């Protein structure tokens, strides 16, 4: 299976405590399932050392989202599972799907002034 990822360097000023712009390495990665993409993502982290990783399609249920903290200890994470409604209604009947997660290098935590999370209720 072909895994794909994209990389970009962005300049950020709003999140940093200093007025001086900082270069961030931001990457996006479609995991095609957590356990299929975990080793590839680990290789990308070791070779590219991104500051921020935007992950799609991890396919984890809500109670398994902690896998990101377990397997990627140098990053703090926030995101969601697309399977919350499926698991709340009983056992899973179809294959897993969806999910997004943002991973931010813990070295950046000392530079973050505020991080606002807005949750929409559907």
- pLDDT tens string 61-119: 888 999 999 999 999 998 999 877 666 666 666 667 889 999 999 998 777 666 566 66
Q: Which residue has the higher pLDDT, 11 or 88?
A: 88
Do the Cβ atoms of 24 and 12 come closer than 8 Å?
yes
Domain residues for the domain of 103 are 5-111
d(CA 38, CA 29): 10
For residue 113, what pLDDT is reported? 64
For residue 52, what pLDDT is reported? 94
Residue 53 belongs to some domain of the structure: yes
Residue 98 belongs to some domain of the structure: yes
Q: Which residue has the higher pLDDT, 30 or 5?
A: 30
Residue 121 belongs to some domain of the structure: no
DSSP SS3 for 65: coil
pLDDT digits (tens, 9 = 90+) for 20-31: 566 889 999 999
Residue 122 belongs to some domain of the structure: no
pLDDT category, 14, cuts 50, 70, 90?
Answer: very low
d(CA 99, CA 65): 10
Residue 119 belongs to some domain of the structure: no
Q: Which residue has the higher pLDDT, 7 or 45?
A: 45
Residue 64 belongs to some domain of the structure: yes
Of the candidates 46, 110, 117, which has an alpha carbon nearest to the alpha carbon of residue 27? 46
Q: Which pair of tokens denotes residue 86?
A: 């499926």
What is the number of structural domains in the chain? Answer: 1
pLDDT(32) > 80: yes
Task: Please enumerate in sequence order all residues whose Cβ is within 8 A of that of 60, keeping only pairs 6 or more positions apart, or say none.
Answer: 34, 67, 81, 83, 96, 99
Residue 120 belongs to some domain of the structure: no
């Amino acid at each position: 299976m072909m895994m794909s990822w994209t990389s970009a360097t962005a300049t950020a000023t709003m999140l940093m405590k200093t007025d001086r712009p900082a270069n961030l390495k931001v990457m996006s990665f479609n995991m095609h399932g957590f356990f299929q993409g975990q080793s590839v993502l680990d290789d990308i982290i070791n070779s590219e050392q991104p500051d921020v990783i935007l992950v799609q399609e991890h396919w984890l249920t809500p109670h398994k989202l902690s896998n990101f903290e377990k397997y990627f200890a140098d990053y703090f994470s926030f995101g969601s599972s697309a399977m919350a409604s499926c698991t709340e209604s009983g056992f899973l009947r179809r294959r897993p799907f969806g999910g997004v997660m943002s991973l931010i290098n813990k070295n950046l935590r000392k530079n973050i002034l505020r991080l606002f999370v807005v949750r929409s209720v559907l």
